[in-house]
Structure 1
């Protein structure tokens, strides 16, 4: 009623907020795509992965979450990984700033 939204973070005035949207198919497909992009950026052969997904993504994907697990297992092969679903994800990108986002993936790869 008061035109406010709950974004799960404290926002200072004049903070940039970008609203994005995706279908369930896009949420699922972005997981193996992002993992492959991470592997391409790694300086060496992957030794392990830490894969953090927004809990909101998990809720949006709902009963199709098995498709995410299957896609991760296919891309990772024998490389071990820890995958979790949290709330309040922070990520780091080329602008050298930490960013908090909703429906976010924050994947970390460890090279051999």
Structure 2
């Protein structure tokens, strides 16, 4: 049993005993302890499941980012080099923006 389940059971038992003592000293404390423990165990299972899910997601993200294996921030895929056509079009766009930009208006 994990620590969260034990903590939930213990917390539920203590709160059940306290609530049962307010209702009726002996039988109320016994019934309260049983009901409180059951509810606490359920809450502990939920907390444990969420903790495991969060830990698994954190490990998965660490592997993706590269903090646990590989190099930090480096992509596992090498991007392809641009083709000649792409380079030619980029050069033409630079030429057009440099030479075809209208002159600024004259200042008065």
Q: State the TM-score, normalizing by the size of structure 2.
A: 0.24
More helix by share: 2
Higher relative contact order (Cα pairs below 8 Å, separated by 6+ residues)? 1
Q: Which structure has the larger Rg over C-alpha atoms?
A: 2
